[in-house]
């Protein structure tokens, strides 16, 4: 299983139409990637007379991928930045 660790920054402000602070921008940064390794159940695909074997993670939906190809995203840090009132 590949693990991707992500840091998320939320930028929020207030405006005359909505005095409650609300998010106006979200930025995500990849902090770390832990690879899952080689595919355990490769898939054979055909196009015309060409046949290739590829990793199941490139072809199958997530529910049918092997544990090496499946991707898990973990949010490791969340920052909220207040930009103040909108002018």
| Six-digit token string for 25 | 């921008």
Distance CA 1, CA 14 (A): 41
Q: What is the pTM of this model?
A: 0.70
- Residue 87's pLDDT is 54
Give me the residue label for tokens 């080689």. Answer: 38
Number of domains forming the structure of the chain: 1
Distance CA 39, CA 53 (A): 11
Q: Could you list the residue range(s) of the whole structural domain that residue 36 is in? A: 2-85
Per DSSP, the three-state class of 64 is: helix
Predicted confidence pLDDT, tens digits, the chain (87 residues): 899 999 999 999 998 888 899 999 999 999 999 999 999 999 999 999 999 999 999 999 999 999 999 999 999 999 999 998 875
């Amino acid at each position: 299983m590949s693990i991707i660790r992500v840091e998320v920054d939320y930028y929020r402000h207030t405006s005359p139409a909505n005095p409650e602070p609300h998010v106006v921008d979200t930025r995500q940064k990849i902090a770390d990637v832990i690879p899952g390794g080689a595919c355990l159940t490769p898939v054979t695909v055909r196009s015309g007379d060409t046949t290739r074997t590829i990793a199941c993670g490139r072809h199958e939906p997530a529910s049918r991928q092997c544990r090496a190809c499946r991707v898990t995203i973990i949010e490791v840090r969340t920052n909220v930045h207040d930009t103040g009132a909108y002018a």
